Structure 1
Amino acid sequence: MAAVPTIRAYANFDKDKDVQILRKAMKGMGTDEKALVDIIAYRNNPQRQELKLHYKTCYGRDLVDDIKSECSGNFEKVLLALLDLPPLFDAKCLGAAMKGAGTNENLLIEILCTRTSAQIKAIKVAYKEGFGRNLEEDLKSETKGDFERLLVGLSAAGRDDSDEVDQEKIDSDAKALYEAGEGKFGTDESEFQRVLLGRSYAHVRAVFDAYGNISKKSIEEAIKSEMSGDLQYSYLTIVKCVRNPSEYYADMLASSMKGIGTNEEKLMRCLVSRSEVDLGTIKAVYAAKHGKSLRDTIKGETRGDFENALLALINEQKS
């Protein structure tokens, strides 16, 4: 299924008109939140970067600072996320995952296991510029064992991002995975890392098919039986993204709004990061798999200006 975004470059983009609307929305008593959403959520990221610069040029004020002073809560967070360059937003998420006591391993997995090598390279630069620290060193200090080695391997960003498939190595890679897991006592996690992180996505997909020809288990079933905890979750995330990224994100959205309470930050991260990539495709997969439109689910789980901003990102604003 082709990747269809929901947010594209705004055809009638007029940065001068837009910054006037933004300034008026935050000037004086009260804030026009709808005006902020109508501009920020409906421009793509390069256009938002132009708006940040032009706003400062025209008014001698920082657009981000003005939003921080006029907005609050998750509504503020989603606007600020949209104004960040994507690598910086991801870098901030990683920094937040490793800040203070304890580490949010799920957030590390959510970012590092789903981004391309090119994206991770950009994230590392943004992380260094934003925090003055090395991402790999921070990962080493916050994690350990096979999970640490997996995250360090991902942060190395050495995967081939092309569609290259090495036919001669497909069967040997599938056999290597089998012999590293099901075919022996114990598990050689390094072989899983070598294949799943070192090969192109197209090659790894072919390896999964070949694995099914030599084992009674799927690669997912093998990972579940051979691994546990954060390492298992990491590899299952990689497999899902390799097989069908749109389905992975549809499930991620569903999990963020499942049960008592909504994980609004997880919901926001997903919609912001995918809106200019494949959120249109994700919407269709979500409806087909979960039997309810993404719009209706969001309306049932969120409220107010935050809801309006999220609905704008999926191009279905609150009526």
Structure 2
Amino acid sequence: MDYRLTPTVVPAAPFDASADAQALRAAMKGFGTDEEEIINLLTARSNAQRQQIKARFETEFGRDLIDDLKSELSGKFEDVIVALMMPPIEYLCKQLHKAMAGMGTDEDTLVEILCTKTNEEMREIVAAYEAKYDRPLAEQMCSETSGFFRRLLTLIVTGVRDPVGTVDPNKAREDAEALYAAGEGQLGTDEGVFNRIMSHSSFAQLRLIFDEYKELSGQTIEQAIKHEMSGSLHDAMIAIVECVQSPATFFANRLYQAMDGAGTNDATLIRIIVSRSEIDLGTIKDEFERIYNRTLYSAVKSETSGDYKRALCAILGGV
């Protein structure tokens, strides 16, 4: 499957970390803050370049750039800029931790981050999470979730998925039959079978399984999941299916839902726009427009305001 990865943020060239550090210091020094300069500079640098700027800022001024930005900025605008300044894996770990902190659990965020990752990406997150919070991600997640949803996420977090690109057409047919027998082919649902196949197979293998399933049952795997499951387990399964077929569609739908109805889910908006900016945000923009017949840029512009709006629009890179 040809999945074109188009980022909206790319490394600046030429690049001078020292000049950028000085420009940011000047934008925050004295009376008032030059928010426009901060937006223009940080959204036009890759995350790796921002880390170099942060290191140079500390060397030249003896100050922590993120602390300075936090003291000068506020609200959702501050959230966007701080998100841009964090290394990507560390940022996702912080989002996972936040989703499980305090009363209740934000299952949607857990699904969005965990169900969309390859084994390789998952390993990086697991290692970084334990280093940052001194507690295994799987252990904390187990205490915050329950039932088959917990079992599915635990399988994903412990890294049982086959390596990227692993395919076996014969096994695909066998697994499609197993899924049919565990769901539509019987009264009730054997969620354990769905969990095993959805968490172990590579995304490329899952594509084959879903094709075989449709041929076998005459229904798509999404239709089967909708009939057989509910709640967080349903959402997690659908997220995996959408990401197997097109990650851009999954994230485009998430962004639409974050802006649909009364109020905007700013945390989701910021997380997806920042975390996908150097991966496939350009592809997500194209998919958003195809599905919803309006640009993502115009949707964000109408749902946000002030410096917060300008920062998100700068990351999106216009129409």
How far apart in 2 are the matches of 1:90 and 1:266? 12
- Counterpart of 1:30 in 2: which secondary structure? coil
Which of the numbers 48, 51, 54 marks the counterpart of 1:52? 54
How far apart in 2 are the matches of 1:115 and 1:6? 20
How far apart in 2 are the matches of 1:239 and 1:168? 20
Partner of 1:181: 183
Amino acid at match of 1:65: D
How far apart in 2 are the matches of 1:19 and 1:252? 35
Identity over the aligned pairs, expressed in percent? 44
How far apart in 1 are the matches of 2:139 and 2:32? 45
Partner of 1:213: 215
Which of the numbers 298, 306, 309 marks the counterpart of 1:307? 309
How far apart in 2 are the matches of 1:306 and 1:107? 21
- Counterpart of 2:271 in 1: which secondary structure? helix
Which of the numbers 118, 130, 139 marks the counterpart of 2:120? 118
How far apart in 2 are the matches of 1:115 and 1:172? 24
Is the counterpart of residue 268 in structure 1 residue 276 in structure 2? no
How far apart in 1 are the matches of 2:159 and 2:83? 24
- Counterpart of 1:119 in 2: which secondary structure? helix
Query: Are 2:214 and 2:221, in contact at CA under 8 Å, matched by a contact in 1?
Result: yes
Which of the numbers 79, 96, 99 marks the counterpart of 2:98? 96
TM alignment of 1:9-20, pairs within 5 A: 9-20=11-22
How far apart in 2 are the matches of 1:308 and 1:27? 21
Q: CA deviation at 1:101?
A: 1.1
How far apart in 1 are the matches of 2:111 and 2:309? 26
How far apart in 1 are the matches of 2:95 and 2:241? 22
Amino acid at match of 1:80: V
Q: Any unmatched runs of 5+ in structure 1?
A: none
- Counterpart of 1:31 in 2: which secondary structure? coil
Which of the numbers 252, 255, 263 marks the counterpart of 2:254? 252
How far apart in 2 are the matches of 1:4 and 1:295? 15
Q: CA deviation at 1:220?
A: 0.5
TM-score, normalization by structure 2: 0.97
TM alignment of 1:1-319, pairs within 5 A: 1-316=3-318
Where has structure 1 moved over 3 Å in runs of 4 or more? none
How far apart in 1 are the matches of 2:162 and 2:8? 27
Amino acid at match of 2:20: D
Q: CA deviation at 1:218?
A: 1.0
Query: Are 2:118 and 2:164, in contact at CA under 8 Å, matched by a contact in 1?
Result: no
How far apart in 2 are the matches of 1:157 and 1:55? 37
How far apart in 2 are the matches of 1:235 and 1:191? 12
Amino acid at match of 1:193: N
Query: Are 1:161 and 1:201, in contact at CA under 8 Å, matched by a contact in 2?
Result: no
How far apart in 2 are the matches of 1:200 and 1:134? 24
Q: CA deviation at 1:139?
A: 0.7
Q: CA deviation at 1:160?
A: 2.5
How far apart in 2 are the matches of 1:209 and 1:281? 24
Q: CA deviation at 1:86?
A: 1.0
How far apart in 2 are the matches of 1:106 and 1:247? 16
TM-score, normalization by structure 1: 0.97
Amino acid at match of 1:14: D
- Counterpart of 2:59 in 1: which secondary structure? helix
How far apart in 1 are the matches of 2:210 and 2:291? 22
Q: Deviations over 1:163-212 (max 9, x none)?
A: 22111211101001101111112211121122111111111001101000
> Across the two proteins, how many residue pairs are aligned to each other?
317
Q: Deviations over 1:46-76 (max 9, x none)?
A: 1111111111001000001001100011111
Q: CA deviation at 1:234?
A: 0.6
Q: Any unmatched runs of 5+ in structure 2?
A: none
